[in-house]
């Protein structure tokens, strides 16, 4: 994912450039392969300096939206991103169809089985 940082969008001109850059990084991390995203790849894809990329990734990690693997140093989607995704999915998921009504007995009355009786000997 490449971002044109030379031409500000109307929103970026209004002071939301950092937010747009952070969202672009978040999307890039989410779209990365299962091994995670490398800092160098995120920098190149977003067209940002190392310092800016690292600062934004640190803020996203602090909020739980991404996490960095301690061993590989690669970035992965974080637990709060999963929680937000589940909330969004629930809102945008089509409603479940109504549950079917239980079948009625012939004659319109509900079928009731007689209680078993014990025969005395």
What whole-number distance in Å separates Cα of residue 90 and Cα of residue 79? Answer: 17
Q: Residue 9 half-sphere exposure, CB side, CA atoms within 13 Å?
A: 10
pLDDT of residue 4 exceeding 90, the answer is: no
Model-level pTM?
Answer: 0.65
Q: Per residue in 7-51, pLDDT tens?
A: 555 555 567 999 999 999 999 999 999 999 999 999 999 999 999
pLDDT tens sequence across 59-79: 999 999 999 999 999 999 999
The residue that leads in pLDDT, 66 or 111, is 66
In this prediction, residue 25 carries a pLDDT of 96
At 75 the three-state DSSP class reads strand
């Amino acid at each position: 994912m490449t971002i044109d940082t030379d031409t500000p969008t109307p929103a970026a001109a209004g002071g939301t450039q950092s937010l747009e850059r952070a969202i672009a990084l978040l999307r890039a991390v989410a779209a990365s392969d299962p091994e995670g995203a490398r800092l160098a790849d995120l920098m190149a894809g977003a067209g940002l300096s190392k310092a800016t990329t690292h600062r934004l990734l640190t803020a996203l990690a602090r909020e739980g939206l991404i996490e960095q693997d301690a061993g590989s140093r690669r970035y992965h989607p974080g637990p709060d991103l999963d929680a937000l995704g589940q909330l969004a999915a629930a809102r945008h998921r089509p409603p479940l169809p109504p549950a079917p009504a239980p079948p009625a007995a012939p004659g319109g009355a509900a079928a009731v089985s007689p209680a078993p009786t014990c025969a005395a000997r």
